[in-house]
Chain A
């Protein structure tokens, strides 16, 4: 294994694979905060050169957190298909990169390939990709999933309706749901981040969503994004959840900070499959984000892209319906500005798709980062171009509870028009039935009028 190179007359040597991975990363303030980043631009390129020459086996055999001490590593390694892995283990990452970008690759090829890749390999090849490479690669790796409807088909593009409210006022939440639906949002999920994540509150909101969904026969899924254990208890008591949500991390210690183990997720999935109301088989919803492990001091000296890839390897085990990175939420100490946020959004989407999970993205920014709505609209366009399964929809891009901005209700149809996509087909048909769009997908006078639900 070669961990040394000469670039422009200067010798660069790296401590181990983890060090190469970290230094090969595009510039991220979080890696600098962790003291892991390349010191110079040249060192970054030197690391990429070394990384390009490492093999798939080198990366598989050097997970950034040891197998013995980390559940996430174990799940990723144990889920690997050995024959597929054997067939590619001798490839360098440069070869893997070009294999991915090759015109001849089909979605089926990606499905097979992904079963032979560990998360470190996925992260490694990501670091050798330009932004456009990430988009071309991701677009070919089509991943669909089914809960009540099917997400991820190439002709469709979905949106999570996120009706957050600073006091969980049920009337306020419903008003936001109506408005979002009137703008064609909500085919991915109607999912609330609750302020009060107590059992009673979670159950009440699930019933609120379910009643509304039934009353208007909306072909979608609902979810209240509380802690997994609270949602499970609510389901046991009969609350009508279609999906169970959990934030996850790329290390066991990171998951501990979320009060989470793999067994809990398995239990949650089993519970929904046996007692939930959704069709399935994909009934889990996960959120991730670069930097979360560092913020809980659970990064084990690994960079934030590699840890993010490990989230996806971990998530895949539970066959989720939705996974999205919340890409600009964590703040400038992890992603400094819009440039870093854009890069991270494309990386995460690519790595998710290459891992084989139905990836979406919360393209967002807080008010203490150097970014604005234009940046996030740009990212959304890039993501849809790259085949992203879904983004978020909040009223006018302004989440009044999480106090950040992301893609707004109006973006859903704007992006579908721009890329000639539909909503998830069943939901699209419902939009026609409700008179929001014509069968030719032209917006009607009712499109944008929430009061069509107020009768």
Chain B
């Protein structure tokens, strides 16, 4: 029997704001003669909203009420009520993420959008979400190769590399179609972002607000941008300017394996794939069309096999709506009254630190202090790989260690949240419970991989209570 999770994706980007709804189909794939094995079997987009311009109040603030109105209208149009949602993600991407009220908007929207809708941001996570939305992960898997996706938006270009379906790298450059704005009526430049002005200067172009939009000159700028994208992929030697274009200083693109296939998504991507249509290049009031055409023409970028993205302008919102949630293992132990849990920081233990119960207890106690803020102990999730097929005695020992290590956490009234990679959550959970008679406050799940520095959201149960939806966030909005 298939279960259905209703999921929303909301993307508030530099240029556009979009909403999609999707159905995530969940099914028990076991024969019925083994332990259950519940997995996501299909993801279907059931509603694609319009593409709205992101409403801004002034240069540095998002129009929160305006965004809320857009979202509200899309919900109504789709016929979806907030309480019907099971999961989803709100992302604030590109330049918008750097606006002063971005955090406020994000949290407002994530509350507005439903109980278990997570707020995500951070340029590398954006890249991953867009790459999945564009289908680069699937492409790399089907072709047994590497596939990258460059999501070129209004303010940033986010790159994700997948190797046989698995994420291999992610990074971000400050390159986008809306970094230079042009008034389509007067054909004058109305805005230039600082870094872009510096880039123009570097390539010998004089660019300033108020100038007439000179096509040749702006094409030259777009070419310089395309060259920087090529440099990031090792297809051109890196210029002296290149380090400046990285969104996160020092976070250059690292390709652990050669890039064999490349797709493009984001608002600019349609102009990468389609030949020039003869229309006004400034019709969107920016240089997006020129940037797309420059990427299309770039001989350096043409060295890598180009494939069609499954989604272009909607890649990020589709990624947010369909590709952020995963499922826990199907034999787990939890107290439903503790759910959902939002944005728990991960306390990660190594294999050596969990070799036995005593070591586990010690490692937890040491690391718990890292999370202390102003003497307060926030809730955390304790994560480790865990033994493959542990013995009963091992499970007892680990359970005792976890409880001893998390003593202060429990004393502070927090639940004991344990996340393992290997299949042991049920026995571990029951072993913990046998030491916590009569007390609620346990969530023990497996088949989830998280790293130090990640945050995790755990949703309310699905598939007759057998699994929990989990969203791992690699970076939380600061």
- Selected from B29, B141, B143, B144, the residue in CB contact (under 8 A) with A201 is B29
**Looking at the complex, which one of B27, B37, B144, B145 makes contact with A200 (CB distance below 8 Å)?**
B27
Contact B30 A455 (CB under 8 A): no
Residue of A171, A195, A204 with highest tally of chain B CB at under 10 A: A195
Is A418's beta carbon under 8 Å from chain B? no
Answer whether residue A451 sits at the interface, using C-beta atoms and an 8 A cutoff: yes
Known: A200-B41, A204-B41. A168 touches B29 (CB 8 A): yes
CA A167 to CA B35, docked complex, whole Å: 11
Q: Which residue of A lies closest to B41 (CB)?
A: A200
A:164-178 near B, CB below 8 Å: 167-168, 171
Interface residues of A in 416-455 (CB under 8 A from B): 451, 454-455
Q: Does A196 sit within 8 A of B, measured CB to CB?
A: yes
Does B412 sit within 8 A of A, measured CB to CB?
no
- Distance (Å) between the CB of B138 and the closest chain A CB? 12
Give the docked Cα–Cα distance between A197 and B27 (Å): 12
Which of B27, B28, B29, B41 is packed against the most chain A CB atoms within 10 Å?
A: B29
B31 in complex: contacting residue of A171, A195, A200, A454, CB < 8 Å:
A195
Establish whether residues B144 and A454, one from each chain, have CB atoms under 8 Å apart when the complex forms.
yes
On whether A195 and B41 interact (CB within 8 A), knowing A455-B143, A455-B144, A455-B145, the answer reads no
Q: For residue B2, which residue of chain A has the nearest CB?
A: A200
CB B278 to nearest CB in A, in angstroms, measures 36
Confirm or deny: A217 has a beta carbon within 8 angstroms of a beta carbon on chain B.
Answer: no
**B-facing residues in A184-209 (Cβ within 8 Å):** 195-198, 200-201, 204
Q: Smallest CB–CB gap between A184 and chain B, Å? A: 21
Q: How many A-B residue pairs have CB under 8 A?
A: 28
A454 nearest in chain B by CB position: B144
Interchain nearest-CB distance for A399 vs B (Å): 15
Q: What is the chain A residue whose CB lies nearest that of B28?
A: A196
Task: Name the contact of B37 in the complex, choosing from A167, A197, A204, A451 (C-beta under 8 A).
Answer: A167
Cβ-defined contact, B144 with A196, below 8 A: no
A196 & B145 in contact (Cβ 8 Å cutoff): no
Q: Mark B19-51, 1 if CB is under 8 A from A, else 0.
A: 000000101111100000100010000000000
Complex contacts, A451 vs chain B, CB 8 Å:
144
B30 to A, closest residue via Cβ:
A196
Q: How far is the CB of B5 from chain A (nearest CB, A)?
A: 15
CB neighbours (8 Å) of A195 from chain B are 29-31
Residue of B nearest to A451 (CB): B144
Nearest chain B residue, comparing its CB with the CB of A175: B144
Contacts of B27 in A (CB 8 A): 198, 200-201
Closest A residue to B25 by beta carbon equals A200
A196 near B2 with CB under 8 A, answer no
Are the C-beta atoms of A454 and B29 separated by less than 8 Å?
no
Residues of A within 8 A of B141 (CB): 171
**Does the CB pair B31–A196 fall under 8 Å?**
yes
Complex alpha-carbon distance, A428 and B426, angstroms: 51
By secondary structure, the A interface counts as: loop
Given the complex of chains A and B, what is the CA–CA distance between A336 and B206 in angstroms?
A: 91
Contact of B143 with A167 in the complex, beta carbons under 8 Å? no
A202 CB to closest chain B CB (Å) equals 12
Is A167 within 8 A of B29, CB to CB? yes
B144: chain A residues at CB < 8 Å are 451, 454-455
* Contact call B37/A454, Cβ cutoff below 8 A: no
Contacts of A201 in B (CB 8 A): 27, 29
A197 to B31, CA, bound (A): 7
Which residue from chain B places its CB closest to the CB of A195 in the assembled complex?
B31
Alpha-carbon separation in the docked complex, A451 to B144 (Å): 9
Identify the closest chain A residue to B1 (Cβ). Answer: A198
In the complex, per-residue mask of B215-238: 1 if CB is within 8 Å of any chain A CB, else 0 = 000000000000000000000000
CA distance A171 to B25 in the complex (A): 19
- Residues 283-305 of B, flagged 1 when their CB comes within 8 A of A and 0 if not, give 00000000000000000000000
Question: Whole-angstrom distance from the CB of A340 to the nearest CB of chain B?
Answer: 29
Q: Which residues of A contact B2 (CB under 8 A)?
A: 200
What separation, in Å, do the CA atoms of A168 and B32 have in the docked complex?
13
A455 to chain B, nearest CB (A): 6
- Chain A residues, Cβ within 8 Å of B31: 195-197
B38 to chain A, nearest CB (A): 12
Closest beta carbon of chain A to B2's beta carbon, Å = 6
Q: Which residues of B contact A197 (CB under 8 A)?
A: 31
Give the contacts of A203-243 with B (CB-CB under 8 A): 204
With a CB–CB cut-off of 8 A, which chain A residues contact B41? 200, 204
Report the bound CA distance from A168 to B29 in whole Å: 8
- The residues of B that contact A167 with a CB separation of less than 8 Å are 29-30, 37
Q: How close is A84's CB to chain B, nearest CB, in angstroms?
A: 46
Report A342-400 residues with CB < 8 Å from chain B CB: none
Q: Which of B134-156 contact A (CB under 8 A)?
A: 141, 143-145
Interface centre among B28, B31, B37, B145 (most CB of A within 10 A): B31
**Minimum Cβ distance to chain B for residue A196 (Å):** 5
The answer for the CA separation of A204 and B42 in the assembled complex, in Å, is: 10
Nearest-CB residue, chain A, relative to B141: A171
A168 to B34, CA, bound (A): 13
Distance A13 CA – B31 CA, assembled complex (angstroms): 50
Once the chains are docked, how many angstroms separate the CA of A167 from the CA of B27? Answer: 13
- Chain A residues, CB < 8 A from B29: 167-168, 195-196, 201
Q: CA of A310 to CA of B194 in the docked complex: distance in angstroms?
A: 85
CA distance A196 to B37 in the complex (A): 11
Q: In whole angstroms, what is the CA distance A373 to B248 when docked? A: 61
Nearest-CB residue, chain B, relative to A204: B41
Task: Give CA–CA (A198, B30) in the complex, Å.
Answer: 10
Flag A137-173 by CB within 8 Å of B: 1 or 0 each.
0000000000000000000000000000001100100
Q: Give Cα distance in the complex from A378 to B251, angstroms.
A: 63
In the complex, which residues of chain B have a beta carbon less than 8 angstroms from the beta carbon of A455?
143-145
Contacts of B28 in A (CB 8 A): 196
Alpha-carbon gap, A109 to B251, bound state (A): 79
For A453, the closest partner residue in chain B by CB is: B144
Query: Within the complex, what minimum Cβ distance (angstroms) separates B458 from chain A?
Result: 25
The distance in angstroms between the C-alpha atoms of A195 and B35, with both chains bound, is 13
Measured between beta carbons, the chain A residues less than 8 angstroms from B30 are 167, 195-196
CA distance A204 to B144 in the complex (A): 20
Question: Once bound together, how far apart are the Cα atoms of A412 and B144, in whole Å?
Answer: 27
Distance A210 CA – B145 CA, assembled complex (angstroms): 22
In whole angstroms, how far apart are the Cα atoms of A167 and B41 in the complex? 13
Task: Give every chain A residue within 8 A of B37 (Cβ-Cβ).
Answer: 167
For the complex, give the distance between the alpha carbons of A455 and B143 in Å: 4
Complex CA gap A86/B27 in Å reads: 58
Interface centre among A168, A171, A196, A201 (most CB of B within 10 A): A196
Write the chain A residue with the least CB distance to B144: A454
**Which B residue sits closest to A211, measured CB to CB?**
B142
Q: Please report which residues of chain B, range 110-160, place their CB below 8 angstroms from some CB of chain A when the two chains form the complex.
A: 141, 143-145
Shortest beta-carbon distance from A400 to chain B in Å? 14
Q: How far apart are the CA atoms of A108 and B27 in the complex, in Å?
A: 52
- In chain B, what residue has the closest Cβ to A171? B141
Set A168, A171, A198, A454: member contacting B143, Cβ < 8 A? A454
A308-355, CB < 8 A from B: none
Q: Chain B residues with Cβ under 8 A from A171's Cβ?
A: 141
Give the residues in chain B near A454, CB-CB below 8 Å.
143-145
- With most chain B CB atoms within 10 A of its CB, the pick from A197, A200, A451 is A200
Residues 30-76 of B contacting A (Cβ, < 8 Å): 30-31, 37, 41
* Inter-chain pairs besides A200-B25, A200-B41, 15 sampled, C-beta below 8 Å: A167-B30, A167-B37, A168-B29, A195-B29, A195-B30, A196-B28, A196-B29, A200-B2, A204-B41, A454-B143, A454-B144, A454-B145, A455-B143, A455-B144, A455-B145
- A–B Cβ pairs within 8 angstroms, 28 of them: A167-B29, A167-B30, A167-B37, A168-B29, A171-B141, A195-B29, A195-B30, A195-B31, A196-B28, A196-B29, A196-B30, A196-B31, A197-B31, A198-B27, A200-B2, A200-B25, A200-B27, A200-B41, A201-B27, A201-B29, A204-B41, A451-B144, A454-B143, A454-B144, A454-B145, A455-B143, A455-B144, A455-B145
Chain B contacts to A: CB under 8 angstroms: 2, 25, 27-31, 37, 41, 141, 143-145
List of 5 A-B pairs having minimum Cβ-Cβ separation, nearest first:
A454-B144, A195-B31, A196-B29, A196-B31, A200-B27
